[in-house]
Copies of this chain bind each other. A is one copy, B any other.
Amino acid sequence: MNSGPARAVLALSGGVGGAKLALGLSRILAPGDLHVLVNTGDDFEHFGLHISPDIDTLLYTLSGRADPEQGWGLAHETFHVLEALRQLGAQTWFRLGDRDLATHLWRTQQLAAGSPLSTVTADLAARLGAAAQVYPMCDEPVRTMVHVAGGSLPFQQYFVREQCAPQVTGFSFEGIEAATPAAAVTGLLDAGAFAQIVICPSNPFVSIDPMLGIPGLWTALRDSAAPVAVVSPIVAGAALKGPAAKMMAELGLPVTALGVARHYAEHYPGLVDYFVVDQSDVTLAPDIESLGMAMVAAATVMQTLDDRIDLARRVLALAEA
């Protein structure tokens, strides 16, 4: 722990969208100063393997191994195992790459040997060379269930197998009441180590809510001296990535950055200090500021690595303001 002013940054991230900003932050901060808390509500068991899609996206992105086109999975990947599974008549809706499978096999073996997911993740981050500290939101299993007409679906079945087609009526997070937030992160929070907390442009319902819903976490973030900045995943009425906009429409919420800001204000009152919207959404300022947050406009559509770094720099500047 440094004895000077707090300089570490905590980022909360789901998968591809959040990983973009985390990558930008990692190009500015020292690896020991960037701490990324990652959603594990999407984790699932498949062919007996423990798969942590969001953690893997962060690890692959932060180690420079991610597929640059799709943002998840590994670059230069092959799918020989998946093709053989297809020939056996097995389910192949989840795209298991050959090298990606090694990550799942290794994680599954370590978990079976008794290591908690946090230890396995830290070890994987070191072995892959991730340029940050990466933590699963908790060690306990929490499973995001997507409520749809007539029942509910585990997240990966909704997201990958059903391609987000079913109309959403709500969400629940099985096991969340018994979960405790990542001890390393709460320890740093208690020690006042963070200069800033960044909620990445991830889906508020299925990436961020599972994290903030872990008992004790969001109030600890709120009560920290570090300012909390949210980057809106909705730009000009559309989601940058994934089903966030479709979900908002189906839930009857306005599909705008303001809708996202209201979600945070309603569920986590007093948490958010800065709400970062795209420059195209500056007209939302009065409504967002009426929620008790400072609105910040920035270029939030991250297409290039420079875009990621520029947005990260803009967000980090808020703590110095």
Which residues from 90 to 104 on chain A have a C-beta closer than 8 Å to any C-beta of chain B?
A: 90, 98-99, 101-103
A90 and B78 contact, Cβ closer than 8 Å, known pairs A48-B112, A112-B48: no
Interface range, A side: 20 to 34
CB of A109 within 8 A of CB of B78, answer: no
Task: List B contacts of A47 (CB < 8 A).
Answer: 105-106, 108-109
CB of A106 within 8 A of CB of B78, answer: no
Return the chain B residue nearest A98 by Cβ: B80
CB of B81 within 8 A of CB of A98, answer: yes
- Main SS class of interface, A: helix
CB of A81 within 8 A of CB of B101, answer: yes
Task: Report the separation of the CA atoms of residues A83 and B103 in the bound assembly, to the nearest whole angstrom.
Answer: 11
Task: List B contacts of A103 (CB < 8 A).
Answer: 84, 88
Task: Report the separation of the CA atoms of residues A12 and B239 in the bound assembly, to the nearest whole angstrom.
Answer: 61
A102 and B84 contact, Cβ closer than 8 Å, known pairs A49-B48, A112-B48: yes
A149-188 vs B, CB cutoff 8 Å, 1 = contact: the mask equals 0000000000000000000000000000000000000000
Task: List B contacts of A127 (CB < 8 A).
Answer: 87-89
Task: List B contacts of A48 (CB < 8 A).
Answer: 48-49, 105, 108-109, 112
**What are 17 A-B residue pairs whose CB atoms fall within 8 Å in the complex?**
A47-B105, A47-B106, A47-B109, A48-B49, A48-B105, A49-B105, A78-B80, A80-B98, A82-B102, A83-B99, A84-B98, A85-B102, A85-B105, A85-B106, A88-B102, A88-B124, A88-B128
A interface residue numbers (CB < 8 A to B): 47-49, 78, 80-85, 87-90, 98-99, 101-103, 105-106, 108-109, 112, 124, 127-128
Q: A80-B98, A81-B99, A88-B127 known; 9 other A-B pairs, CB under 8 Å?
A: A48-B49, A78-B80, A80-B80, A81-B81, A84-B98, A88-B102, A88-B106, A89-B127, A90-B109
